[in-house]
Amino acid sequence: MHNKKVLLIYTGGTIGMITDQSSGALRPFNFSQITQQVPELLKFKCAIDSIAFEKPIDSSNMNPETWVSLVKMIEQNYEEYDGFVVLHGTDTMAYTASAVSFMIKNLSKPIVFTGSQLPIGIIRTDGKENLITAIEIASAYKNHVPLVPEVALYFEYKLFRANRTTKLSAHHFNAFESFNYPILAEAGIDIDYRFNVINPLPKDKKVEFQYQFETGISVLKLFPGISQDTVTHHLAQPNIKAIILETYGSGNATTEKWFLEAIEKAIQQGIIIINITQCKSGKVDQTKYETGKGLHKLGVVGGSDLTIESAITKLMLILGNTSDKSKVIEQFERNWVGEKG
């Protein structure tokens, strides 16, 4: 960690809260004074700077505009720092972290997202350990090569690939899980890096940043008894470019004639339909059962084992950069940064 520089970026969220002594209410603290809250940071042998959004954002209010602001902060400081730690609210952290992983091509430095379930000003907070270890990972280099040159998410002793994570719990410290991909590292007495599952460092490629998003997408979750009116109304929404269909099991849906006809009509009208499973573990295989083959024949695009967070953010970014349907599908099916199996 000698001579490394890490930039903390506080976007908002529970981790940045302390108790106001006069009112007893939680309020964001000044991140330029972070060592007062976490004096352990003074023991690091790397330089740590911090910047914060002018107005901290509750993660429920995150949107593509804030993702753009965040990545522009990273781009403006990319050459000056060896690693980045992004502090973010837990509710939509997996969405933002997934989006950032797609927005930065040929990333060659660690970007580690973290946060906490309890404010950093609370005695029992999980924020201190999450923050300290995230910084250690972001500054970890060997022979001038970063150990984790990708966008990752660290929480409760585990480091995950960012675009493989989903928030699992609102009540436990182990709030995140990666159901279809192994952890990148685990923190114990030492940090055990699993180099065989970490993305390799891009060779001789210049980093690129993408900022264009298209939000004209929708998600339709199937359930037993879903009505024809509900489906047809959903598919007929104005200005929709693509729909993510959350299906059962390995990508199965009802074979009712009215349902398949509604899907076919939407596709004929130019709407892209992506098939994502409702299951937390496993992937879509539209060739396995008749209930999935029907969708495949109509031109529904299988989403493999993408998380819903990854599918949404990747699709938004692709649609923001091209309106050509065949190109959208080709790029969506391509594995960009290890987001799918």
Q: How confident is the model at residue 24 (pLDDT cuts 50, 70, 90)?
A: low
- Output the domain CATH number for residue 261: 3.40.50.40
Query: Are 167 and 125 in the same domain?
Result: yes
Exactly one of 14, 90, 133, 166 is catalytic; which is it?
14
Query: Are 224 and 175 in the same domain?
Result: no
Q: How confident is the model at residue 56 (pLDDT cuts 50, 70, 90)?
A: confident
Is the model's pLDDT at 47 over the cut of 80?
yes
For residue 32, the model assigns a pLDDT of 67
Query: Are 179 and 43 in the same domain?
Result: yes
Q: How confident is the model at residue 79 (pLDDT cuts 50, 70, 90)?
A: very high
Is the model's pLDDT at 67 over the cut of 70?
yes
Question: Which pLDDT tens digit goes with each residue over 89-107?
Answer: 999 999 999 999 999 999 9
Question: Which pLDDT tens digit goes with each residue over 299-311?
Answer: 999 999 999 999 9
Query: Are 49 and 147 in the same domain?
Result: yes
Nearest to 153 by CA among 176, 136, 182: 176
pTM over 0.75: yes
Residue 338 lies in a domain: no
3-state DSSP assignment of residue 151: strand
For residue 3, the model assigns a pLDDT of 81
Range of the domain at 267: 217-333
| Across 65-92, average pLDDT | 97
Residue 340 lies in a domain: no
Q: Which of 170, 187, 209 is the last residue of a domain?
A: 209
3-state DSSP assignment of residue 208: strand
Q: Which of 181, 209, 237 is the last residue of a domain?
A: 209
- Beta bridge mates, 187: 191
Residue 260 lies in a domain: yes
Task: At 174, list the tokens.
Answer: 């182990």
- Give the C-alpha separation, 71 to 339, whole Å: 19
Catalytic residue check, 313? no
- Output the domain CATH number for residue 47: 3.40.50.1170
Question: Which pLDDT tens digit goes with each residue over 117-155?
Answer: 888 878 888 888 999 999 999 999 999 999 999 999 999
Nearest to 67 by CA among 155, 172, 193, 151: 151
